[in-house]
A and B are shown apart, each in its own frame.
Chain A
Amino acid sequence: MLAEVQSEASSASGAVSSTVIARVTARKAVRSGFGWGLVFGFYVATQALAYATSYPTVASRELLVQEFGSNPGVSALVGPATQLDTVPGYTAWKCLAVLAITAAVWGILSSTRLTRGEEDAGRWELLLAGQTTRRGAAIQALVGMAAGLVVLFITSGVIIVATGRRSDIGMGTSGALFLALAIVVGAAMFSALGALAGQLSSTRRQASGYASALLGASYAIRMVADSDTSLGWLRWLSPLGWIEELQPLTRPNPLALVPIAVLTAAAVALTVYLAGRRDLGASTLPDRSSSKAHLRLLSGQAGLALRLMRPTLVSWAAAIIAYGLLLGSIAKSGGKIMTSSPSMQLVFERLGVTGAEAYLGFALLVMAMALCFVAAGQISATRTEESSGRLEYLLVRPLSRTSWLGCRVALATGILVAGGLLAGLSTWAGAAANHAGVRFSPMIGASMNVVPPALLLLGVGVAVYGALPRVAVSVTYAVLVWSLLVEITSGVVNVNHWMIDTSMFHQMAAAPSVPVDWTTNAVMVAIGALSALLGLAAFARRDLKGE
């Protein structure tokens, strides 16, 4: 990547090279924006189509309204459900909150990566020694990110508009575009806030932390606002509340774009102002650069890895617990809808599962997906230790490559199993609190059922890392995103079963609604373990490679 920047800087001359930061940033932002635009677009399409096919009759839709339309718990979590009896109303409710938050997280991660991350890696130093000022560099990076946002909007917008044209969906073009806009403004606001946080803090991680705290606060405020109608005014204090106030597809209210635009513009302006006032690599806020020594974990490489991963693991654990509680608490209503048709009820009765368990069988797929992201993150963290040169400090000491990588794989396996348990237990707890009739032991089985796809992905990642370290991270994420896309689309479109079989998630049994398929799980784990062993062998026989 450095070489890329260097060659751009040296090949282009004069006026051309002065926009190199904008172009490099734009290239990365556009690539990512396109990919996530596809994910967002297909997510909306899936939800709309699934609703249209699952609830074709007025009666079935009314049942849905009864269950969710006035459920304050659900309303607090993902916003109030209005017009659940129409496809656009359901789609907006099901997609807006989830995708706006996802977009906001994307905005934070990509903007801190493309601004503070590039600066931390020392790539800007090279360019700033040339013709660009610090302020100019910040403006260019912001312009590059804006290009990514435009592509995110266009990609997701095109798919949503195309979906809306189906007669059984019936979303107008302007309505569909307004939904896409409502999602993308979440990314825009938090990209700007992420860039601002990058000016205030001294590392990328710290910047992401500040921006994520803002996102968490705005989610919490919106949650309170939606839990009680008398507190609705609070929504105007939260950026996520403004997005909700846009009410796309139901009662569009463009007025809510005003605070969104003001916040984004203010954050951008402040970013540019601060960028010119601080030193490269320094922070605006005072930085805690000294600390007492905390040696408890640092007695070896395993402890070091845990210590370095701790912040990430804590946030994943919090997210999994929160989502588990949410799934558990809506399982009862979800189950009632699933078993509303007598024929389905008969099927589940024959299988000996309750409605809530049937619902969770499908809902827990999301946990399997989340654990796969954790697994991919482990591969990425492993590779970073090597590419940054830090691994050498361990490997020039009496520590073999096999024990280093083996220890990381073992740790990652433990983390994934713990994650699965956490997912199962929190879901069970959420369900138990709502007396949803979810039994404990099937949930423990189900919680172990979400782990094998992640272990398979981990093994494949280790194999690629062992043999071709420079592409390991991209290949791992590519396998993951491919599986996600196949899984999401196969629910709606008729896809060739050979293609569906390439998705790890498709191999998973929908426990606890059906018994766990331990044979398939064992095969997945075995393939993962075998791949990991191959990766370990290859790693011991290759050169260490930097970026």
Chain B
Amino acid sequence: MASHAIKTFALTKRFGDTEALKDLDLEVSEGEVVGILGPNGAGKTTLIRLLLGLLIPSGGRAEIFGLDCHSQTVEGHRRLAYVAGESNLWPTLTGAETLHLLGQVQGRVDTQYREVLVERFELDVTKKVRALSKGNRQKLSLVAALMTRADLLVLDEPTSGLDPLMEQAFRTCIAEARVHGQSVLLSSHILSEVEVLCDRIGILRAGVLVEMGTLAEMRHLSALTVEATFDGAVPDLSRVPGVTMVEVLGSSVKCQVNGTVEPLLRVLADSGVRELLSREPSLEELFLAHYGSASTGQSDASNAR
């Protein structure tokens, strides 16, 4: 029974008339790293706050290591660490004081690892929180959570405000957690972050888990956007294998490519291409491509705290 780090049973949350989460069933096995993707307001934060017992479910329930998230919060929290997307720490405490306090309340700290983390994130712990930038506060939150070596890390857009170097340091930490056998639930809207770190990915839309699977299973989602400008006439790309959503605008063309780009490259090279631009589609574009434009305009229920 306790082989699940997280398990929810038809978990539902309503804020007034808004249904932020509908009958959600989610499982995270022990030692697994799971990413939750979704646009703003999809219900990611609501899900996480329910798991933490900060919100009370309107229906269904959730467990952490077999412990009920509402009635056995204290026992559950002994095995958990959490990082929010926004760090609201006590402005008058210094970094060192904050880490000491939170370690004391948690009751378990790997002090050696804490020093490693402070060094890795280049944190000045003598500074008061109010003098720290948003990114540095976020780093402090991350260290406070990671230093406990908790069995389950619950991370809600943890890299917001971090620069690329620090984001790299964060990825190192998650890799270490995986080696340690820790379980991770990572909510994000940064596709690449989730792609690199997670064993399985869930996609949340308007409070419903619409996709859940390994990266290989989700491959059909990861289309590439290609824009090309030609000297001469624009070739017909609609029959090239893997190419969809072709849009022609004068002498340039925009399309999506699923799977290998080789067939497309061959056609382009033969047609006198002058400029070529390719990029990974944003999550927004993936949603648009897969669920139609109606999927993104949901109310921002996750902001309702």
B:45-75 near A, CB below 8 Å = 49, 52-56, 73-75
Among residues of A, the one whose C-beta sits closest to the C-beta of B148 is A397
Asked if B128 lies at the interface with its beta carbon under 8 angstroms from chain A, I say yes
B128 contacts A290, CB within 8 Å? Answer: yes
Name A289's contact: one of B101, B107, B127 (CB within 8 Å).
B127
Complexed CA–CA distance, A399 and B91 (Å): 22
Asked if B100 lies at the interface with its beta carbon under 8 angstroms from chain A, I say yes
B94 contacts A291, CB within 8 Å? Answer: yes
Q: Mark A172-215, 1 if CB is under 8 A from B, else 0.
A: 00000000000000000000000000000011010000000000
- Using a CB–CB distance below 8 Å, which chain A residues touch chain B? 202-203, 205, 287, 289-295, 298-301, 304, 308, 388-390, 392-401, 541-546
Q: Is the interface of A mostly helix, strand, loop or mixed?
A: loop
B74 contacts A293, CB within 8 Å? Answer: no
A395 contacts B128, CB within 8 Å? Answer: no
Among residues of A, the one whose C-beta sits closest to the C-beta of B131 is A289
Among residues of B, the one whose C-beta sits closest to the C-beta of A303 is B101
The interface residues of chain A lying within 8 Å CB-to-CB of B106 are 397-398
The interface residues of chain B lying within 8 Å CB-to-CB of A287 are 131
The interface residues of chain A lying within 8 Å CB-to-CB of B105 are 300-301, 394, 397-399
Known: A396-B54, A400-B74, A542-B56. A295 touches B100 (CB 8 A): yes
Q: Give the size range of B's interface with the partner.
A: 35 or more
A396 contacts B52, CB within 8 Å? Answer: yes
The interface residues of chain B lying within 8 Å CB-to-CB of A389 are 84, 86, 88, 305
Complexed CA–CA distance, A542 and B49 (Å): 12
B78 contacts A398, CB within 8 Å? Answer: yes
Interface centre among A299, A392, A396, A543 (most CB of B within 10 A): A396
Asked if B80 lies at the interface with its beta carbon under 8 angstroms from chain A, I say yes
Known: A300-B105, A393-B89, A396-B77. A290 touches B131 (CB 8 A): yes
B82 contacts A390, CB within 8 Å? Answer: no
Known: A389-B86, A400-B74, A543-B55. A293 touches B100 (CB 8 A): yes
Complexed CA–CA distance, A403 and B260 (Å): 57
A397 contacts B102, CB within 8 Å? Answer: yes
Task: Give the shortest distance, in Å, between A21 (CB) and chain B (any CB).
Answer: 23
A398 contacts B107, CB within 8 Å? Answer: yes
Complexed CA–CA distance, A388 and B305 (Å): 11
Complexed CA–CA distance, A294 and B88 (Å): 20
The interface residues of chain A lying within 8 Å CB-to-CB of B55 are 543-544
The interface residues of chain B lying within 8 Å CB-to-CB of A392 are 52, 54, 82, 84, 88
Complexed CA–CA distance, A542 and B77 (Å): 18
- In the A-B complex, the 6 residue pairs with the closest CB atoms: A289-B131, A389-B88, A546-B305, A293-B96, A298-B101, A396-B82
Asked if B167 lies at the interface with its beta carbon under 8 angstroms from chain A, I say no
Asked if B97 lies at the interface with its beta carbon under 8 angstroms from chain A, I say yes
Among residues of B, the one whose C-beta sits closest to the C-beta of A288 is B128
Complexed CA–CA distance, A301 and B102 (Å): 9
B89 contacts A543, CB within 8 Å? Answer: no
A-B contact pairs, 25 of them (CB 8 A): A290-B128, A290-B131, A293-B94, A293-B100, A294-B97, A299-B101, A300-B104, A308-B92, A388-B88, A390-B88, A390-B89, A390-B90, A392-B52, A394-B105, A395-B52, A395-B53, A396-B52, A396-B54, A397-B102, A398-B105, A399-B105, A401-B73, A543-B305, A544-B54, A545-B305
Asked if B112 lies at the interface with its beta carbon under 8 angstroms from chain A, I say no
The interface residues of chain A lying within 8 Å CB-to-CB of B126 are 290-293
Among residues of B, the one whose C-beta sits closest to the C-beta of A293 is B96
Complexed CA–CA distance, A126 and B102 (Å): 32
Asked if B171 lies at the interface with its beta carbon under 8 angstroms from chain A, I say no
Asked if B254 lies at the interface with its beta carbon under 8 angstroms from chain A, I say no
- Given contact pairs A289-B127, A398-B75, a sample of 5 additional A-B residue pairs in the complex whose CB atoms are under 8 Å apart: A289-B131, A290-B127, A299-B101, A393-B89, A395-B54
The interface residues of chain A lying within 8 Å CB-to-CB of B75 are 398
The interface residues of chain B lying within 8 Å CB-to-CB of A388 are 88
The interface residues of chain B lying within 8 Å CB-to-CB of A394 are 105
Asked if B22 lies at the interface with its beta carbon under 8 angstroms from chain A, I say no
The interface residues of chain B lying within 8 Å CB-to-CB of A542 are 56
Asked if B130 lies at the interface with its beta carbon under 8 angstroms from chain A, I say yes
Name A396's contact: one of B80, B92, B305 (CB within 8 Å).
B80
Q: Mark B122-155, 1 if CB is under 8 A from A, else 0.
A: 0011111011000000000000100000000000
The interface residues of chain B lying within 8 Å CB-to-CB of A301 are 105
Complexed CA–CA distance, A161 and B91 (Å): 47
Complexed CA–CA distance, A74 and B12 (Å): 66
Name B91's contact: one of A203, A295, A543, A544 (CB within 8 Å).
A203
Task: Give the shortest distance, in Å, between A399 (CB) and chain B (any CB).
Answer: 6
Among residues of B, the one whose C-beta sits closest to the C-beta of A203 is B130
Complexed CA–CA distance, A388 and B89 (Å): 9
Task: Give the shortest distance, in Å, between A332 (CB) and chain B (any CB).
Answer: 44
Name B130's contact: one of A289, A292, A298, A544 (CB within 8 Å).
A289
Among residues of B, the one whose C-beta sits closest to the C-beta of A202 is B130
B97 contacts A293, CB within 8 Å? Answer: yes
The interface residues of chain B lying within 8 Å CB-to-CB of A400 are 73-74
A289 contacts B128, CB within 8 Å? Answer: yes
B:11-62 near A, CB below 8 Å = 49, 52-56
B94 contacts A290, CB within 8 Å? Answer: yes
Task: Give the shortest distance, in Å, between A286 (CB) and chain B (any CB).
Answer: 12
Known: A294-B97, A392-B84, A393-B102. A308 touches B54 (CB 8 A): no
The interface residues of chain B lying within 8 Å CB-to-CB of A390 are 88-90
The interface residues of chain B lying within 8 Å CB-to-CB of A300 are 104-105
